[in-house]
Amino acid sequence: MSTFTEPAIYWAGLAPALVILGTAVLGVLVEAFVPRRLRLSVQTVLALAAIMGSFVLLAGQWALVAGETPMTGEIANGFDIDPFGVAAQGIILVIGLLAVLTMADRTSAGDGAFAAQAADRPGRAEETESLHADWMGTEALPLTMFSLGGMMLFPQASNLIALFVMLELVSLPLYIMAAMARHRRLLSQEAALKYFVLGAFSSAFLLLGSALLYGATGSVDYSEIAQVSRLTQGVGPGWIVPAGLVLLLVGLLFKIAAAPFHSWSPDVYQGSPTPVTGFMAAGVKAAAFLALVRVLVFIGMTVTEELGAVLSAIAVLTMLVGTVVGIIQRDIKRMLAYSAIAHAGYMLIALISINRLSLSALLLYSLAYGVSTVGAFGIISLVRVSHGGAAGAEATDLDSYRGLGQRAPWLAAAMTVFMLSFAGIPLTAGFVAKYELFLSAALGGGVWLVVAAVVSSAATAFFYMRLIVLMYFRQSEGEGVVVVGSRGPVAAAVTVAVVLTLVVGILPQPLLTLLGSAAMLAP
């Protein structure tokens, strides 16, 4: 008779993510049973309550993992708990909170970011009827919660199976949400198709790499793969583990839009609903980078020299592509897409030589970049094309932002703060994050990479400053643009993002101390 061994699961360690995922399931039931006119309010309250509840549970976990006798180890088969993982979850929750607020907004124009019904064919009678009925695709919020739950568990994954499952949990809802834009539906559906097809390729690379690592070591656990790799060096085919690791990294590098795996990013950013673009740019990048850290700390130690050369080359190429191509963009969403690519290059240099300073710097950079990104895309969602005074789709051409400082002073000021943070100007969170990141890379022996990053950062400041000049020092041309008002959620998200960006930039020490305690991740 076969016996069944009950898995040991520390449910309290999984509780923050389970609250998010449980709310996502509840949100699906809301879509089925709650009247359509009430769904947006119910979904928004559920999502925000779940995120706040998850914050409370995460604070309790932090007290356990960062105390005098820290509790670390496996909380379930394939997931670990440690200060780094808990801090990563906290950062992702902050991004998720801001993203939910931007998605839940109904503007003064009476519309939102999402199609009335995603299944309606663009331009057909059924879409017109849905729009006249004032519907909105509220299923985007439970999809967001599913993806957010996957993002929270992604950095805690400690074996290859859990890594792949969390990658798909993060990605599948986003493939759907990318196709749900209320305006420019065909462009949105094209973006979703590109994201899905190229995402499938990235998953295939990750699976093939996992298969090679399992075949070479007989295990899917990071720590066991590293141990077997060290014991069997020089025995049998020596290329299998490095090849498997490189293929595994390709799957993760796709998610952070590192060159040459970045080609999906500009088109998907441009076509997706603007709040989804912000969530994708901030949340997916943070989750994938922090998951990549755990892979490199455990498995990457076995091929340090070869891997360092590969990551250095990718980092330089990523900075080069993001900087050079970003300068010539005239669409603000595509400009921010190439900005995100450049920032991915900066973050990669912290992974060349991993130490406690580089881990804390990467956590800080994920927070600073993520907060500013969600806030910037929240503002973009309010600047619209005018059709005889009526608001249409987002006005994403850079010239649409001419004179925004006069038409909407608060939005222009907030966007200025975010652009200055992206550029790394002092008194913003972006400056502190870049300083810590570049310092950790220099101390780790990557001085030449830091020089390349500083040159790239100076060049990217051009397209951030160009937007500021357009907003304050150029007059608007005609009446082709209208700024719609937020009914609360987007305004709240932008305000919180501005406050966090300035507070971290002016008083960074408490957060630096906290993240320094979180940078405990040892094989």
β-strand pairing of 79-81 with 383-387: unpaired
Closest CA to 30 of 20, 41, 42: 42
Which amino acid is present at 306?
E
Per-residue model confidence (pLDDT) at position 305: 66
Question: Which whole number is the average pLDDT over 62-86?
Answer: 80
Using pLDDT thresholds of 50, 70 and 90, give the confidence band for residue 523: very low
- What percentage of the chain has pLDDT greater than the value 70? 93
Q: Is 5 among the domain residues?
A: no
Q: Is 106 among the domain residues?
A: yes
CA dist 143 → 88, 110, 114, 179, 332 (Å): 21, 23, 13, 13, 26
Query: Does residue 466 have a pLDDT over 70?
Result: yes
Q: Is 4 among the domain residues?
A: no
Q: Which residue has the higher pLDDT, 278 or 75?
A: 278
Spatial CB neighbours of 213, under 8 Å, sequence gap ≥ 6:
160, 220, 225, 240, 241, 244, 245, 248, 299
Does residue 343 contact residue 335 with C-beta atoms inside 8 Å? no
The residue segments making up the domain with residue 194 are 11-518
Q: Is 129 among the domain residues?
A: yes
SS3 content of the chain, % helix, strand, coil (to 5): 70, 5, 25
CA dist 487 → 94, 385, 409, 490, 491 (Å): 21, 19, 17, 8, 8
Using pLDDT thresholds of 50, 70 and 90, give the confidence band for residue 446: confident
362-376 pLDDT tens trace: 999 999 999 999 999
Question: Which whole number is the average pLDDT over 385-413?
Answer: 87
Query: Does residue 8 have a pLDDT over 80?
Result: no
Spatial CB neighbours of 14, under 8 Å, sequence gap ≥ 6:
75, 76, 79, 153
Strand partners, 80: 74
Give the ranges where 352-488 is alpha helix by DSSP (H).
Answer: 356-380, 404-407, 409-423, 429-443, 447-473
Per-residue model confidence (pLDDT) at position 2: 55
**pTM of the full structure:** 0.94
Maximum Cα–Cα distance for the chain, whole Å? 81
Does residue 456 contact residue 319 with C-beta atoms inside 8 Å? yes
Query: Does residue 177 have a pLDDT over 90?
Result: yes
β-strand pairing of 383-387 with 481-483: antiparallel
CA-CA-CA-CA torsion sign (491, 493, 495, 498): negative
Query: Does residue 49 have a pLDDT over 70?
Result: yes
Which amino acid is present at 50?
A
Question: Which whole number is the average pLDDT over 423-430?
Answer: 94
Query: Does residue 136 have a pLDDT over 90?
Result: no
Domain count, the chain: 1
Q: How many CB atoms lie within 10 A of CB 309?
A: 11
248-288 pLDDT tens trace: 999 999 999 998 998 899 999 999 999 999 999 999 999 99
Spatial CB neighbours of 28, under 8 Å, sequence gap ≥ 6:
139, 142
- The separation between CA 202 and the C-alpha centre of its own chain, rounded to angstroms, equals 17
Q: How many CB atoms lie within 10 A of CB 76?
A: 18
- For residue 180 the two structure tokens come to 């749900």
Q: Is 57 among the domain residues?
A: yes
Question: Which whole number is the average pLDDT over 434-438?
Answer: 94
Q: Write down the mean pLDDT value for the chain.
A: 88
Query: Does residue 130 have a pLDDT over 90?
Result: no
Residue with the two structure tokens 């060049």? 459
Q: Is 285 among the domain residues?
A: yes
Q: Is 523 among the domain residues?
A: no
278-331 pLDDT tens trace: 999 999 999 999 999 988 888 866 556 678 888 899 999 999 999 999 999 999
What is the secondary structure of 49-67 as a DSSP string?
HHHHHHHHHHHHHHHHHTS
Q: What CA–CA distance (Å, rounded) separates 250 from 100?
A: 29
Q: What CA–CA distance (Å, rounded) separates 410 from 417?
A: 11
Q: What CA–CA distance (Å, rounded) separates 19 from 13?
A: 11
Query: Does residue 194 have a pLDDT over 50?
Result: yes
Per-residue model confidence (pLDDT) at position 478: 67
Q: In this structure, what DSSP letter does residue 112 have?
A: -
Q: Is 1 among the domain residues?
A: no
Does residue 16 contact residue 57 with C-beta atoms inside 8 Å? yes
Q: In this structure, what DSSP letter does residue 283 have?
A: I
